């Protein structure tokens, strides 16, 4: 196989953000806006990336240099995913055959000249995204998962979902240094997941749909910056932060039961309590607060920010009869309603 196209979904956090970074569970759902990526083998030992959605075309680099030197921001996630996937190729064949791979693509990261590859062919990656990077729906995680999945198929490596999660999560940590991996899990597994930091638990929940409305605040936020902000602001109040995260864990576990039972009123109450704790943590902003209050005023069962906060998106849980009024309330509060469906399929070959 010399060419393949795969896609992976974005994500929405339902409950548990911030606490999940520190070993607590969360609930995340995949959304039907997807990242699509075509990966092909080319007859030149280079890595080539075309990502017109982020105004990046004709990026070229020697395959022996991937993961090294200065890497442009729009390239990092794909390039490091290629590097880690090629390294995995060599490790996989060594583990399963007791000898070096006879694959045409064989990457060696333990040579004297660190990171060098012995390759006579290269990799061309072309991405096309339905996920706007401004919305915080997990475009970086989705593109990493697409890259790792595509290369594993081309290389003939039969990765389990957990193995695909592991190599993709490693890639995100290599770049960001921090992250729980819930967005990676959503891209790999799809559906709605009960998730614990680092993939210690990845449990698909048996639900068919979620009556959610997504509102975008118009403010772009950076996850790592917000994680560090919370850490710094509670530097002298660590006990209180631990109490908050423990309380969030209780809410997440209760929400898991409510979700499976489709008890939307109970789930909404838990979302509201989670939002109150996130306000205390300091990651909500006035715009999100206004959108949340407007949703609740029009009968939403519950509403909260979704993700790191500081901007990006909020979510509202609605009744069948209340959908339009909640949408209009979000718009009147200055938000933009984003049309997405939840519980979407995970990474797949197109």
Count of residues for the chain? 350
pLDDT given for residue 80 in this prediction: 94
pLDDT greater at residue 349 or residue 133: 349
Report, as an integer, the average pLDDT of 31-55.
92
pLDDT tens profile 295-325? 999 999 999 999 888 989 999 999 888 899 9
Kindly report, as residue ranges, where domains of CATH 3.30.70.890 are found in the chain: 212-338
Q: Which position has the token pair 């990046």? A: 56
pLDDT tens profile 110-126? 443 433 445 678 999 99
Kindly report, as residue ranges, where domains of CATH 3.30.230.10 are found in the chain: 3-205+345-349
Query: Where residue 91 falls among pLDDT bands split at 50, 70, 90?
Result: low
Query: Where residue 192 falls among pLDDT bands split at 50, 70, 90?
Result: very high
Q: What does pLDDT average to over the chain?
A: 89
DSSP per position, 61-85: EEGGGTTSS---TTTHHHHHHHHHH
Within 13 Å of residue 260, how many CA atoms lie on the same side as its CB? 11
3-state secondary structure of 4: strand
Cβ atoms of 146 and 77 closer than 8 Å: no
Pick the CATH number of 212-338 from 3.30.70.100, 2.60.120.20, 3.30.70.890, 3.90.170.10: 3.30.70.890
Cβ atoms of 259 and 212 closer than 8 Å: no
pTM: 0.88
- Classify domain 3-205+345-349 by CATH number: 3.30.230.10
Query: Who contacts 252 (Cβ-Cβ below 8 Å, separation ≥6)?
Result: 15, 16, 19, 24, 25, 26, 27, 194, 274
Bridge partners (DSSP) of residue 202 are: 195
């Amino acid at each position: 196989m010399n060419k393949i196209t795969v896609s992976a979904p974005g994500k929405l956090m339902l409950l548990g953000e911030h606490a999940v970074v520190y070993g607590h569970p969360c609930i995340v759902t995949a959304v039907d806006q997807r990242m699509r990526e075509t990966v092909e083998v080319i007859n030149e030992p280079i890595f080539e990336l075309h990502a017109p959605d982020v105004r990046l075309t004709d990026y070229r680099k020697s395959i022996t240099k991937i993961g090294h030197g200065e890497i442009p921001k729009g390239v990092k996630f794909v390039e490091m995913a290629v590097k880690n996937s090629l390294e995995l190729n060599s490790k996989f064949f060594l583990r399963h055959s007791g000898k070096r791979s006879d694959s045409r693509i064989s990457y060696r990261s333990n040579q004297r000249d660190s990171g060098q590859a012995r390759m006579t062919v290269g990799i061309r990656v072309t991405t096309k995204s339905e996920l706007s990077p401004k919305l915080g729906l997990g475009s970086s995680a989705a593109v990493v998962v697409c890259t790792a999945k595509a290369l594993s198929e081309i290389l003939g490596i039969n990765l389990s979902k957990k193995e695909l999660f592991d190599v993709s999560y490693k890639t995100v940590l290599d770049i960001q240094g921090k992250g729980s991996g819930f967005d990676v899990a959503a891209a790999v597994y799809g559906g709605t997941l009960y998730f614990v930091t680092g993939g210690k638990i990845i449990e698909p929940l048996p639900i068919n749909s979620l009556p959610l409305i997504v509102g975008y605040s118009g403010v772009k936020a950076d996850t790592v910056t917000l994680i560090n902000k919370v850490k710094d602001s509670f530097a002298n109040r660590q006990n209180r932060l631990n109490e908050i995260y423990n309380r969030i864990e209780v809410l997440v576990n209760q929400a898991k039961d409510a979700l499976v039972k489709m008890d939307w009123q109970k789930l909404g109450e838990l979302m509201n309590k989670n939002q109150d704790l996130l306000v205390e943590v300091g990651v909500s902003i006035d715009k999100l607060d206004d959108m949340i209050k407007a949703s609740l005023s029009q009968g939403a069962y519950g509403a909260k920010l979704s993700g790191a906060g500081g901007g990006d998106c909020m979510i509202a849980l609605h009744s069948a009869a209340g959908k339009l009024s909640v949408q209009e309330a979000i718009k009147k509060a200055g938000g933009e309603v984003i049309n997405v469906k939840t519980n979407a399929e995970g990474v797949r070959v197109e």
